[in-house]
């Protein structure tokens, strides 16, 4: 990450990576002690990952479609 990107809003990809790391840490805790709190926290992080993954899928598809239109205009 460059200095300029520190001032910018986080991308969905960065949010997804951070959320996965939070899930990873929580899941380790859940594996060592199967408490209600660790169960709930692990599932919450998984739900957030799903939400962010859907958002990222949409962004990727929109970027691809936009790029595809741009490439096709050049061949007309």
Residue range 39-68, pLDDT digits in tens:
999 999 999 999 999 999 999 999 999 999
Higher pLDDT, 12 or 71: 12
Q: What's this model's pTM, rounded to 2 decimal places?
A: 0.78
Residue boundaries of the structural domains of the chain:
12-75
pLDDT digits (tens, 9 = 90+) for 3-36: 444 546 899 999 999 999 999 999 999 999 999 9
| Count of all residues that appear for the chain in the document | 76
How high is the pLDDT of residue 75?
60
Half-sphere exposure (CA, 13 Å, Cβ side) for 3? 0
């Amino acid at each position: 990450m460059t200095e300029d990107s520190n001032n910018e809003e986080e991308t969905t990809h960065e949010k997804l990576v951070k959320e996965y790391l939070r899930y990873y840490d929580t899941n380790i805790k859940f594996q060592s002690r199967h408490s209600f709190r660790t169960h709930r926290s692990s599932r919450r992080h998984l739900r957030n990952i799903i939400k962010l993954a859907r958002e990222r899928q949409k962004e990727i598809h929109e970027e691809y479609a936009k790029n595809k239109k741009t490439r096709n205009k050049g061949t007309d």
